[in-house]
Amino acid sequence: MGSLSSLNSICIDRGCFAKCQDSIKNSKVKKLCTRASVAMSAPQSLRSEEFKAQKFEKFRVGVLGASGYTGSEIIRLLAAHPNFQITLMTADRKAGQSIESVFPHLVKRGLPDLIAIKDADFSNVDAVFCCLPHGTTQEIIKGLPSSLKIVDLSVDFRLRDVGEYEEWYGQPHRAQELQKETVYGLTEISRPEIQSARLIANPGCYPTSIQLPLIPLIKANLIEVKNIIIDSKSGVSGAGRGAKEANLYTEIAEGIHSYGVTRHRHVPEIEQGLSDAAKSKVTVSFTPHLMPMSRGMQSTIYVEMAPGASTEDLYEHLRSFYEEEEFVILLKKNEIPHTRHVRGSNYCLMNVFPDRIPGRAIIISVIDNLVKGASGQALQNLNLMMGIPENTGLLSVPLFP
């Protein structure tokens, strides 16, 4: 996407980009420049809604599982948040250590030391991000004070059907009553429900990149729900921080690693969201791949259009649906989304292309798997839950190159 990659120097004292190359003509990209510039400007010139949040009270936040990738991303994003203060961080295997000893890039943040979750005192916490591995989260959340707002980044509360959870994850659901009150937090699709929720199941990275373009099109009856083929590629951070042979440099570098073919655990989550949109059962063909890069995700989606529909119809509907959204951006026609243009940001870039096969279209969607695909969307959701403008702390410009 040449229009984003061509951003030049930033003028800090006046809150504006000094220059965007002439190729930036897309109004959505111009809005991105404007928003980003406001986020980086001096206090006297702040106009973004993000800084209206400074009038709100401070909320005390806990991060459970702070030593993983999603935990460290939450901490990084909260460092720039005017209304959330981290008062608790847990990491059982790193208990007693400072966060900078685990993640040196988080040095000088004035954060509390890591502790074991059994030693956590939740009396000075208003909300928690739960960044623990699946299978461990249900019991822990069940034991948390009912006064807490919770955003769970694991899969443990994403599937409404607890039987389906047991089928795909090989163990019974241990908090079935909590599952009934959980709201699935795909922010742009379920905003009203998120605002009033106590417990949010934060979507997975693949499901986020896939559902954002497909749900509006399915609801508008512009595409058929049969024969949806999804080819997704993720940076290796999507596999977590745990030491695994399959994730070693020599296993991943200089190649593409397909995995979870026909049985990836995000399949039921994807199909649940698409089936809700279609009001009927949707089955997709989904194959994920790990790429030799640290972060980033691209989903290339092949769909059959409804009778009489065209790629222009799909494009215009997505344009209309996301026109006022902060973080979901439909590019100019024929512009190809690239993962390098969302790195480190909460943005999702997408576009629609005609297939060479008549009646079919190709949709490309890109996100940063650790931000919009995990911690950024989690922060977006907690902002909504706490009554704060949802872009607060999330207006960082993507890192490029």
Among 211, 161, 162, 167, which residue's Cα sits nearest to residue 185? 211
The C-alpha angle with vertex 81 and arms to 20 and 150, in degrees rounded to 5, equals: 125
Rounded CA gap, 25 and 22, in Å?
7
Rounded CA gap, 332 and 334, in Å?
6
Which residue is catalytic, options 33, 130, 131, 205?
205
In terms of DSSP bridges, do strands 59-64 and 257-258 run parallel, antiparallel, or are they unpaired? unpaired
Classify the C-alpha dihedral 390-392-394-396 as positive or negative.
positive
**Taking a C-beta distance cutoff of 8 angstroms, is the pair 239, 217 a contact?**
no
CB count in 10 Å sphere of residue 32: 25
**Taking a C-beta distance cutoff of 8 angstroms, is the pair 281, 212 a contact?**
no
Rounded CA gap, 354 and 21, in Å?
29
Residues 6 or more apart whose CB falls under 8 angstroms from that of 385 comprise: 127, 149, 151, 194, 195, 197, 198, 200
Q: SS3 letters for 75-90?
A: HHHHCCCCCEEEEEEE
What's the gap between Cα 284 and its chain centre?
21
Residue 85, sorted as left (phi over 0), alpha (psi -120 to 50) or beta, turns out to be beta
11 is catalytic: no
What's the gap between Cα 164 and its chain centre?
23
In terms of DSSP bridges, do strands 285-291 and 229-235 run parallel, antiparallel, or are they unpaired? parallel
Among 207, 222, 212, which residue's Cα sits nearest to residue 328? 212
Phi, psi of 59, rounded to the nearest 5 degrees: -110, 140
Rounded CA gap, 227 and 94, in Å?
46
What length is written for the chain? 401
Catalytic residues: 205
